[in-house]
Amino acid sequence: MKILIIGGVAGGASAAARARRLNEDATIIMFERGPYVSFANCGLPYHIGGDIKDRENLILQSPESFLARFNVDVRVNNEVLSIDRQSKAVTVSHLTTGETYQESYDYLILSPGASPVVPPIPGIANPLTFSLRNIPDMDNIIQVIGNKNVKHATVVGGGFIGLEMMEAFHQLGINTTLVEMAHQVMTPIDKEMAAFAHQEIRQHGIDLRLGVALSSAHHDVEEKRLVLTLNNGETLNTELLIMAIGVRPENHLAKSAGLTIGKLGGIQTNKHMQTNDPSIFAVGDAVEVEDFVIKSPTLVPLAGPANRQGRMAADNIMGRSEQYQGTQGTAICKIFDLAVASTGKNEKQLLEQALPYEKVYVHGASHASYYPGAQTVSFKLLFNKSSGKIYGAQAVGKKGVDKRIDIIAVAQRAGMTVDQLQHLELTYAPPYGSAKDIINQAAFVATNIIKGT
């Protein structure tokens, strides 16, 4: 059996390791067009900001370690140009030598990921504008910061990467402007919950500009800076620009091979992560998955789902019958001293789907309030009043946020109702929790609403 994997990082690397564990004799070749095959892309902003000191800690596996540990032939700086489904072969370009060659396969796994969205803004192609997807991107940003003694940076986009880059620049003592076209940062949460984040950002001296977009950029070579024009007519001088407005699935290889692309632009797969070609599987940020809550197609570019999908694709190639059970979009982001997290659907999405819902808010202590160090956790729970179904939850605070959202993520996947949340028996000691946890309290309030109390 010969398995080719296009793309490493989370999905592809997980598929390679799992395939080897299930079959010692298969030939496994993994292609990566960049110089690094398995790296912690979620950690890139934290190395720029100095939290992760050693760059080598971001590199999880090398071609040599993959070969030594898993007997996987990893070919970095090799880009797959096309897929010939009839002959079951791919055409590959070795980017270092310029050589082009073909490689046959029995099974093919696509894990090309997603690429940063950079709209056609006039002047955006300049040497002071970057996106952050991989280690070379990170290295280039660090080099500019060091060489040009950057005093001011601008980040466009208030998602995870944008917020993490904003904090990294702040830690480096660089004055920072954050520009977000929406009226809030972190669109997975609702606006009133995002207000906590806005307050935290502004308290740290960040120039936060909401509801505005970048219209153009002019590179002032003499002054070694960019002059940015916003759609409200304002201008902004900056020395470094990060575009972090989102990502889109890399689907061109799949599309040119005649594989089905979904309405959202992701590669379409069945529950086994199999494309419309039974010999080709697809995983990670490039695929459309089923939303766990409302069962419709969605795009969720997160490392956890990508890892699970890669493992599952390898399982199914090896004759098992594993089914992907949907994505909740459970996520958390550090914003200075604040943690902001969510799972499932938010209120905006429920309104778009015309789903009837109720919501409750609880503002409780992260652990027993009389024990030193307790911090407020603001918690929002969304549910169906008739059935008690949990639609989603959001939480903001300095401590204990991850714990509460993780609990709801598990409860939601287990099919629990808000009534059943009342009976969760969670750990309690004054340094760690409360006798009535925030989860229990939210369930009490929700049940009161359901019963008309």
> What are the structure tokens assigned to 182, written together?
């929406």
Please state, in angstroms and rounded to a whole number, the distance separating the CA atoms of residues 173 and 350: 40
> In a 3-state reduction of DSSP, which class is residue 365?
strand
Amino acid at 452: G
Entry field: residues in the chain: 453
Per-residue confidence (pLDDT) for residue 36, from 0 to 100:
87
Helix (H) or strand (E) holding 290: strand 289-290
For residue 180, CA distances in Å to 169, 177, 197, 300 come to 17, 10, 13, 20
Per-residue confidence (pLDDT) for residue 37, from 0 to 100:
84
> In this structure, is the dihedral angle defined by the CA atoms of residues 43, 330, 312 and 271, taken in order, positive or negative?
negative
Q: Contact, 176 vs 206, CB < 8 A?
A: yes
Residue 154 phi/psi, 5-degree rounding, is -125, 135
Per-residue confidence (pLDDT) for residue 221, from 0 to 100:
87
What angle (nearest 5°) sits at the alpha carbon of residue 261, between those of residues 256 and 266? 110
Residue 267 phi/psi, 5-degree rounding, is -70, 135
pLDDT in tens, the chain (453 residues): 999 999 988 899 999 999 999 999 999 999 999 898 888 888 999 999 999 999 989 988 888 988 999 999 999 999 999 999 999 999 999 999 999 999 999 999 999 999 999 899 999 999 999 999 999 999 999 999 988 889 999 999 999 999 999 999 999 999 999 999 999 999 999 999 999 999 999 999 999 999 999 999 999 988 889 999 999 999 999 999 999 999 999 999 999 999 999 999 999 999 999 999 999 999 999 999 999 999 999 998 888 999 999 999 999 999 999 999 999 999 999 999 999 999 999 999 999 999 999 999 999 999 999 999 999 999 999 999 999 999 999 999 999 999 999 999 999 999 999 999 999 999 999 999 999 999 999 999 999 999 999
Residue 185 phi/psi, 5-degree rounding, is -90, 165
Q: What's the predicted TM-score (pTM) here? A: 0.93
> What are the structure tokens assigned to 296, written together?
């419709």
> What are the structure tokens assigned to 451, written together?
């019963």
120 burial type by CB count under 10 A (0-12 exposed, 13-18 middle, 19+ buried): exposed
Per-residue confidence (pLDDT) for residue 48, from 0 to 100:
95
For residue 81, CA distances in Å to 32, 46, 103, 116, 304 come to 12, 33, 11, 20, 28
Of the residues 22, 42, 52, 303, only one is catalytic, namely 42
Task: Give the chain's radius of gyration (CA, Å).
Answer: 23
Express each pLDDT in 268-317 by its tens digit: 999 999 999 999 999 999 999 999 999 999 998 888 999 999 999 999 99
Active-site annotation holds for 333: no
Per-residue confidence (pLDDT) for residue 181, from 0 to 100:
96
Using the 8-state DSSP alphabet, how is residue 436 labeled?
A: S
HEC string of 178-231 equals EEECCCCCCCCCCHHHHHHHHHHHHHCCCEEEECCCEEEEEEECCCCEEEEEEC
In DSSP terms, which residues pair with 179 in a beta bridge?
156, 209
Q: Which of 269, 277, 261 is nearest to 326 (CA)?
A: 269
In DSSP terms, which residues pair with 237 in a beta bridge?
227
DSSP string, 103-119: EE-SEEEE---EEE---
Please state, in angstroms and rounded to a whole number, the distance separating the CA atoms of residues 423 and 430: 20
Other CB atoms within 10 Å distance of the CB of residue 335: 22
> What are the structure tokens assigned to 186, written together?
């972190």
